[in-house]
């Protein structure tokens, strides 16, 4: 995962991590944040169906949420799919823009599901790019990253 300068780790637990943009001038109203979730399902699932289900679930989880765009492509860094869901929803301090980047890979005997959701007040000058999600599904790459403390 790559975040622009000013984004700092805030909290984490098994399967989830949260970053906030401490330099967000609108932090008193709504602090720009990025939430990373990781799941392993002990079944080989259809990656496209998983993405559709997760996207629909996210859209239904926030009242007044509206889908702006949805894109699903083959993953660039290995098997599976990469999906992006752009959403907007009302907040008491103004509209929020939220982008969820998903990476789903079905590998015997399981399915790996990783999502990075970034939410920012639309009027905030917080740098939203280049927030990127990269998932490596090969064991050697995961071991190398673990040894370097990367997420």
Q: Mind listing the pLDDT tens digit for each residue in 122-136?
A: 999 987 776 778 777
151 pLDDT higher than 60: no
What is the C-alpha separation between 48 and 53, in angstroms, rounded?
Answer: 9
**CA separation, residue 111 to residues 40, 47, 48 (Å):** 6, 8, 12
Tens digits of residue pLDDT in 4-34:
888 889 988 998 999 999 889 998 889 999 9
pLDDT at 138: 61
pTM of the full predicted structure? 0.85
Domain annotation for the chain: domains and CATH numbers: 7-148 (3.40.1000.10)
């Amino acid at each position: 995962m790559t975040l622009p300068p000013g984004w700092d780790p805030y909290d984490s637990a098994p399967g989830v991590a949260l970053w906030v943009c401490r330099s967000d001038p609108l932090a008193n109203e709504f602090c720009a944040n990025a939430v990373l979730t990781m799941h392993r399902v002990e079944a080989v699932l259809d990656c496209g169906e998983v993405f559709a289900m997760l996207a629909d679930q996210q859209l239904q989880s926030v009242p007044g949420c509206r889908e702006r765009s949805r894109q699903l492509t083959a993953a660039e860094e290995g098997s599976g799919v990469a999906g992006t869901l752009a959403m907007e929803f009302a907040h008491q301090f103004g509209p929020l823009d939220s982008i969820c980047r998903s990476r789903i890979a079905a590998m015997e005997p399981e399915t790996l599901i990783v999502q990075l959701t970034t939410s920012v007040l639309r009027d905030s000058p917080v740098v939203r790019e280049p927030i990127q999600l990269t998932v490596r599904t090969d064991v050697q790459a995961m071991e190398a990253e673990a040894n370097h403390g990367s997420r």
